[in-house]
Structure 1
Amino acid sequence: MNTPLAWRPVAAVCAVLVTVLLALGPHYGYHRDELYFRVLADHPDWGYVDQPPFTPLAARVSLALFGDSPGTLRVLPALAAALLVVLAALIARELGGRGVAQTLTAAGTATGAYPLIGGHTLLTVSFDLPLWAAAVLFVLRTLLRDGRWWLAAGVVIGAATYNKLLIAMLVLGLAAGVLVAGPRRLLLSRWLWAGALVAVVLALPNVLYQLTHDWPQLKMAAGLSEDEGATMRLLFVPMQFLLFGPVVAVIAGFGFVRLWRDPRVRALAVAYPAAAVLTVASGGRFDYTAGLILPLFAAGCVAAEAAGRERIRSAGWSLGANGLGNALVALPLVPLTVLGSTPIPLINEVARESVGWPAFNAAVTGVLDSLPPEERRRAVVVTGNYGEHGSLVQGGLTRVYSGHNQLWEYGPPPDDGDPGVMVNVRRVVRDQQYESCELRARVDNGVGVDNEEQDMPVFLCRGLRQPWSATWDHWRQFN
């Protein structure tokens, strides 16, 4: 391939993106997942019951290199977002796109709602999107150039399992694409099977962890499907238009047609609907297909470039408007004082659940501080989810416990844990553990954002009925 990479415009997009993300990094506060990853960072392992080790490890590296604050924790996600932009431009280049197509792809990717959220917040998707993009790029090179690129694809796919096992969705989608649309001769390629072997060998420690721990992530997936499967199915189609914005979705539709018309890469066109069917059938999250929207979008930008100036101008202006709307929703641009009066918290869960943690900590700490010194020494705090647990730990409290996901492994509370401060714990569970519980505080984030912690009651319970070590098995929850 002789098409050069449009380094200057792509680098300019990356520079602007990273600058904006780093400038806005300290705004709002920690997201509940970031608070969870901070806790897991103190317990490095080959895996956890709800995820592989990479993102908690990234949190550990950030804490060590940059310190502990929302802004510093988000440096690596911002850099990962820039890497995603470069990879998306390379995908457009691989499909024959010249400077305009690569620039449109870079700009549309950088301003997509999902990449902006992942670049602003330390989430598994922050690193999953560039991993998927790298895998797609190398698969394209096998289809269009040289089968030896299967080895590189295998390396990326194997490595991606340490961030999320969801990379299997990409593999299944591509396999379905090859079987349905060809070229089926790929199945006879020794490089394909060598790449598959590389992926399996790299992923093996992760798989062994799951095997020796009774497949906890399958249990998590089943729990998520049971809890949210129906809702995810209803949201799937509309969210495909909102993940990167409606303009990207429309351009991706043209990209699907372009890929379908080229027998060499038709399998990649089929991979998206195949993954979509698998996601809906399993009740998975609507964002499981996000990594396969990007190559369709890149192909659509190549088609726009080929269509001439009018189509390029139309795509450019439309992507600009798309990006402004996405930035308003995905980034912390709206002041906290008015955020609750906008629809943004309803649309963007990350923004909604990044608000109010200092007020939450103050409510719980206030209850603890009201206790006599001897009771304060014995008191434990038990929370219903990992965000609450992580926020209190980040705030400096000890003797904080939760049965949520991996945190159950770090319990039980000590058997002298009486009294107990209970947050987000059902009444029937509280009453089974303690003789009496009284409401002592309510959380008020002070900015009117209606999130999970707003108006949360804080109970003080006394009179331990059974030792914590005898009942801790009943506190475990996967969701």
Structure 2
Amino acid sequence: MTRLSVPAFAARPVLAVAVVFGAVLTALSGRYGYHRDELYFLVAAHHLGWGYIDQPPLTPLIARVSTTLFGDTVMGLRVLSTLSAVVTVIVVALIAREFGSHRRGQVLAAVCAAVSGYVLGVGHMVSTSTYDLLAWMLIGLFAVKLLRTGDGRWWLALGATVGIALENKYLVVLPVGALLIALLVVGPRGVLRSWWLLAGVALAGLIALPNGLWQFQHDWPQLKVAGGISEDDGTENRIMFIPLQILQLSPFLVPIWIAGFLRIWRHLPWARSIALAYPVLCIAVLATGGKSYYALPLLLVLVAAGCEPLIGWGDRHRVRAVVGLVLTALTSALFTLPLLPASAADLVIPVNKEQGEQIGWPAFVSTVAAAWAKVPPSERSTATLFAGNYGEAGAVVRYGASYGLPQVYSPHMSFADWARPPDSNTGPVLLIELDRTPRFETYFRNCTQVGKIDSIVSNDEDGTALVLCDGPTEPWSTLWPKVRQFY
């Protein structure tokens, strides 16, 4: 096979893998319940705009489309997320094909993607990472095509994908930046000397412009959010970076992505920048204190490259290969999908806390309603329900009407912009606080805890304090900027 040719696409078996993968996600999509982020997206979907404090507009828009087309339920919300993950599996197989993998190598690449913990996890829920992963895989596919063929027109496909990805999550600048650095270091630098590159950059900028203007008009709030994440979690993120790179994709896939890196470096010199981009990206994430999953998508590109050379090993050690893939599928599914009864989720939450964030929200709101009932009826017209973060606020928006709860207010992320308590709300304030801290209670009079969330699992909401205060110490219009939270 020459560099300009690729094997035929193994469409039927790859699509079969993708269909089975999608069927598993669909069958389990209604278990447990909404994730805290999904509750936020549902509210954001009814405040559509060109940007939000903590993210661009695409994921809330997709949530709105999915619930409109497929129903305002947990399963309805997740349909397009499932489809995105299905397409991701197919794209990984296409990347393997670009690296010269034949039928079995492409199928193995699809299987590896389908059984990896990260793809299963982000495919199960709606998150910015769900659609970000698909964008990264498409960028990887188009980048490999660009390097394999030397055809500068692939810069247009890259530019369009990057532009759309920037309307979903800004992290896409990381792999693109890592790839450009790697191209400068190991080449082929010729692809950089092209007007098509400038056209691709212009196209990306044009597509991303609306959200860029929104960020500019709102004083770049995303920088405040990113700074808060790095300040709060940076040290822990750096310590856990390598272990989580292994665990979140799957320990069983480590030999495959190592084989992929070595194969590219030794035998595919035209693609060395793809291999080098991964360690460059890791250095950037470590330097900024970012989360480990920021670099995971590029590992899938290396997995795609590593499948073909392992076919021969698999033929010689068929039992080991099958057992390894089965164990990968079982462990990944156990830790990322709602397979266990909700009451038993504590067994996997230490490894994947997102499991716990899908459990207990109706009960959470029921407990809030019981605390709200302690507000004297004569004072409820001027009372305020105050949630400390967007997950709590989103849960009350979703389930509060069933319990007769009033509108909830939160100073967290874009909730702070969507609604502020009127100054006429001078009466009692029920605070929903993960932990009792002066951060909020300083601004209210005579605060007393009147309830506590007792979750059936050890999630972030377990132990949340419900604190009833006599009222705000100053008008809400003055107080609101002081309690606002960007992370």
TM range (shorter): over 0.9
Corresponding position: 1:236 with 2:241 = yes
Q: Distance in 1 between matches of 2:210 and 2:321?
A: 45
Alignment match of 2:443 (pick from 433, 440, 443): 433
Alignment match of 2:58 (pick from 54, 57, 61): 54
Q: Distance in 2 between matches of 1:109 and 1:5?
A: 17
User: Do the aligned partners of 1:356 and 1:444 also contact (CA within 8 Å) in 2?
Assistant: no
| Aligned-residue offset at 1:331 | 0.4
One-letter code of the match for 2:107?
A: T
| Aligned-residue offset at 1:309 | 2.0
Q: Distance in 2 between matches of 1:91 and 1:124?
A: 22
Going from structure 1 to structure 2, the CA distance change for 1:179 and 1:246 (only over 3 Å counts) comes to same
Corresponding position: 1:320 with 2:318 = no
Gaps of 5+ in 2: none
Q: Distance in 1 between matches of 2:121 and 2:309?
A: 27
Task: Determine helix, strand or coil for the equivalent of 1:254.
Answer: helix
One-letter code of the match for 1:439?
A: Q
Q: Structure 2 matches for 1:212-223, cutoff 5 A?
A: 212-223=217-228
Going from structure 1 to structure 2, the CA distance change for 1:2 and 1:168 (only over 3 Å counts) comes to closer
Q: Distance in 2 between matches of 1:144 and 1:313?
A: 35
Q: Structure 2 matches for 1:270-285, cutoff 5 A?
A: 270-285=276-291
Going from structure 1 to structure 2, the CA distance change for 1:203 and 1:316 (only over 3 Å counts) comes to farther
Q: Distance in 2 between matches of 1:304 and 1:313?
A: 14
User: Do the aligned partners of 2:105 and 2:308 also contact (CA within 8 Å) in 1?
Assistant: yes
Q: What does residue 352 of structure 1 align with?
A: 356
Q: Structure 2 matches for 1:390-405, cutoff 5 A?
A: 390-395=394-399, 396=401, 397-405=405-413
User: Do the aligned partners of 2:345 and 2:355 also contact (CA within 8 Å) in 1?
Assistant: no
Going from structure 1 to structure 2, the CA distance change for 1:258 and 1:313 (only over 3 Å counts) comes to farther
CA-to-partner distance for each residue in 1:253-309, whole Å, 9 max, x for gaps? 110011112211000000000000000000011011112111100001022136572
One-letter code of the match for 1:443?
A: I
Corresponding position: 1:264 with 2:270 = yes
Corresponding position: 1:13 with 2:17 = yes
User: Do the aligned partners of 1:97 and 1:305 also contact (CA within 8 Å) in 2?
Assistant: no
Corresponding position: 1:144 with 2:154 = no
User: Do the aligned partners of 2:6 and 2:98 also contact (CA within 8 Å) in 1?
Assistant: no
Q: Distance in 2 between matches of 1:429 and 1:128?
A: 34
User: Do the aligned partners of 2:382 and 2:428 also contact (CA within 8 Å) in 1?
Assistant: yes
User: Do the aligned partners of 1:210 and 1:217 also contact (CA within 8 Å) in 2?
Assistant: yes
Alignment match of 1:330 (pick from 331, 336, 350): 336
Pairwise CA RMSD of aligned residues?
Answer: 1.6
Going from structure 1 to structure 2, the CA distance change for 1:155 and 1:312 (only over 3 Å counts) comes to farther
User: Do the aligned partners of 1:5 and 1:90 also contact (CA within 8 Å) in 2?
Assistant: yes
Q: What does residue 87 of structure 2 align with?
A: 83
Corresponding position: 1:248 with 2:250 = no
Gaps of 5+ in 1: none
Going from structure 1 to structure 2, the CA distance change for 1:373 and 1:281 (only over 3 Å counts) comes to same
Q: What does residue 153 of structure 1 align with?
A: 158
User: Do the aligned partners of 2:436 and 2:465 also contact (CA within 8 Å) in 1?
Assistant: no
Q: Structure 2 matches for 1:369-388, cutoff 5 A?
A: 369-388=373-392
% same residue? 42
User: Do the aligned partners of 1:346 and 1:352 also contact (CA within 8 Å) in 2?
Assistant: no
Corresponding position: 1:167 with 2:177 = no
User: Do the aligned partners of 1:18 and 1:78 also contact (CA within 8 Å) in 2?
Assistant: yes
| Aligned-residue offset at 1:203 | 1.7
Q: Distance in 2 between matches of 1:416 and 1:133?
A: 51
Task: Determine helix, strand or coil for the equivalent of 2:446.
Answer: strand
Q: What does residue 478 of structure 2 align with?
A: 470
| Aligned-residue offset at 1:314 | 4.3
Task: Determine helix, strand or coil for the equivalent of 2:262.
Answer: helix
Q: What does residue 293 of structure 2 align with?
A: 287
Q: Distance in 2 between matches of 1:427 and 1:333?
A: 36
Task: Determine helix, strand or coil for the equivalent of 1:3.
Answer: coil
Corresponding position: 1:422 with 2:431 = yes
CA-to-partner distance for each residue in 1:68-108, whole Å, 9 max, x for gaps? 22222111111111000010000001111011111111011
Corresponding position: 1:68 with 2:89 = no
Number of positions where the alignment pairs a residue of Structure 1 with one of Structure 2: 475
| Aligned-residue offset at 1:359 | 1.6
| Aligned-residue offset at 1:350 | 1.1
Going from structure 1 to structure 2, the CA distance change for 1:402 and 1:413 (only over 3 Å counts) comes to same
Task: Determine helix, strand or coil for the equivalent of 2:18.
Answer: helix
Task: Determine helix, strand or coil for the equivalent of 1:405.
Answer: coil
